[in-house]
Amino acid sequence: MVAITVSDNILLRSYKAEDAQELFDVINSSRRHLHPWLTWVDKTTKPEHSLQFIQHSIHQQEVQEALVLGIFYDDKIIGGVGMHHWDLTTKRAQIGYWISESHEGKGIISDSLKKFTSFLFDKLDLNKIEVHFVPTNKRSAAVATRLGCKVEGVIRQSLMRNGMPEDVVVMGLLKSEKQIPG
């Protein structure tokens, strides 16, 4: 179990099996908001899918393949952050994030990612994190920029979304570039 305090109201923590219904409800209530950017939303159609995701996430954490944490605001799930494609040899991984529509635009993702990336660099000894997103996802680009990530390139037509190939922007942040929390 990993738990990272962001503020008095916000906690990042590993999901537990008993979070499945609440996680599904949050995703379901923000389905239209999340669908354009996250392909997994369409595959989450019932609470059992959230439970399977949580069980898989727990396993991935145990074998050091990934780390997925819920964003809890006053003990209620409002989003998530995750680290995946964890390469122990090169000490790098991709991160992803999402937040419910009702909590978007309040700085919660930015604050959560600052704490999460500090944990990844300081506790897991990563050297680099990457953020991948489609060019039309301006909000994700803004979050990555605020985090200090730099554009490293565009991988052309490397993602299928809604049956169409799309480009993917890759932004990265090195441990040596990490912004010191103030």
pLDDT value for 182:
40
Query: What's the rounded mean pLDDT across residues 11-24?
Result: 98
Q: Domain 3-177 carries which CATH code?
A: 3.40.630.30
Query: What's the rounded mean pLDDT across residues 22-28?
Result: 97
User: Is 90 exceeded by the pLDDT of residue 161?
Assistant: no
Q: Residue type for 92, please?
A: R
Q: How far apart are CA 165 and CA 153, in angstroms?
A: 17
User: DSSP states of 13-79 as a string?
Assistant: EE--GGGHHHHHHHHHHTHHHHTTT-GGGGG--SHHHHHHHHHHHHHHHHTTS-EEEEEEETTEEEE
User: Is 50 exceeded by the pLDDT of residue 167?
Assistant: yes
Contact present, 79 and 97 (Cβ < 8 Å): yes
Residue 110 has a CB neighbour count (10 Å cut-off) of 14
- Percentage, residues of the chain above pLDDT 70: 98
- Quickly state the pLDDT bin for 39 (edges 50, 70, 90): confident
User: Is 70 exceeded by the pLDDT of residue 181?
Assistant: no
pLDDT value for 163:
84
Reported pTM: 0.93
- Quickly state the pLDDT bin for 180 (edges 50, 70, 90): low
Residue 128 has a CB neighbour count (10 Å cut-off) of 19
pLDDT value for 52:
97
Contact present, 136 and 120 (Cβ < 8 Å): no
Six-digit token string for 139: 């909000």
Nearest to 143 by CA among 98, 101, 176, 181: 98
Sequence ranges of the domains in the chain: 3-177
User: DSSP 3-state assignment of 93?
Assistant: strand
Q: How far apart are CA 92 and CA 172, in angstroms?
A: 10
User: Is 80 exceeded by the pLDDT of residue 151?
Assistant: yes
User: Is 60 exceeded by the pLDDT of residue 8?
Assistant: yes
- Quickly state the pLDDT bin for 178 (edges 50, 70, 90): confident
